[in-house]
Structure 1
């Protein structure tokens, strides 16, 4: 065992903060807008499937919004009826494309795909067998609970605890 020192240790010098300097909200907005109007792809070969499926999901939501705008603009002349939804579709399509290439979000999608690749997925045969076991167990338990419920209903009617005449739903006194 070491000796205990009686002297008070001095303050440790503080380290400067690690990472990028933050420019506040205005700086973050400028970075976002600079990325939004950029055509550069961020790590285009990494996280490809995660980006694709995210873009497809966002695209389906955008399609719903464009369809709603189209349905709402049926009373306008034909030029406006198609121009407004087409313009909205173009803007939303570009926004989706840029969102999946926004560095922070792209890093998240890349990491997500990397983690999903580590998952050991069950085979189709194992999934089928497990599903059959679960469904059979649920069916057996349902039959068992039905029999037990029916037995107690019969027993409690015989000894006179439950007294009701039909005419209503099960258990009704109407």
Structure 2
């Protein structure tokens, strides 16, 4: 066995006395809020499909919510009935656009698209063939289990273990 040195302690990391908490960078919420005021695009040609489909998904949720809002304020006058949902749609639509260009989230979407491009997708013919095999197996297993269940029901009825006549529903006393 090796010898342990007691007089040498592990080196402790030193702090920079001038550094502020958070490393001097703006906090995440501040960066997120400042992102809404920008008009620039963050790495516009990278992760384009991931950003597009994310924005479409969030847009569908937004449009559904605005439609429910519009339905709930039908008793208001026409300007409020159309203006409030339009304002919410514009503000949250801008928010969705800025969210997909927020650098940490955009980096995640870029990395996601890069990983999805590495996936080896199956061909359409292989997919049909595999689906057919799975469905045929499920049907055959269902038929087999039905036959086994029916066989045990027949055997147990004939030896007098089951006294079920089939007159009642499940859970009710059989007549």
Q: Does the alignment reach a TM-score above 0.5?
A: yes
Call closer, same or farther: CA 1:8–1:71 in 2, change over 3 Å. Answer: same
Which residue is 1:142 aligned to? 142
Structure 2 stretches of 5 or more lacking a match?
A: none
What TM-score results when the alignment is normalised by the length of structure 2?
A: 0.87
- 1:28 deviates by 2.7
Structure 1 stretches of 5 or more lacking a match?
A: none
Give CA deviations for 1:112-146 in whole Å, capped at 9, x if unaligned. Answer: 11111111110000000000000111111111111
Aligned residues: 170
Call closer, same or farther: CA 1:165–1:171 in 2, change over 3 Å. Answer: farther
> How far apart, CA to CA, are the structure 2 residues paired with 1:158 and 1:173?
20
Divergent runs of 4+, >6 A: none
Residues 1:120 and 2:120 aligned together: yes
| Alpha-carbon RMSD | 2.5
Give CA deviations for 1:89-114 in whole Å, capped at 9, x if unaligned. Answer: 00010000000000111111111111
What TM-score results when the alignment is normalised by the length of structure 1?
A: 0.87
Q: Using the TM superposition, name which of 78-87 and 29-38 deviates more.
A: 29-38
- 1:32 deviates by 1.5
CA contact (8 A) 1:165 1:173 kept: no
CA contact (8 A) 1:55 1:97 kept: yes
Equivalence map 1:4-83=2 (5 Å): 4=3, 8-14=7-13, 22=22, 27-83=27-83
- 1:10 deviates by 4.0
Call closer, same or farther: CA 1:14–1:126 in 2, change over 3 Å. Answer: same
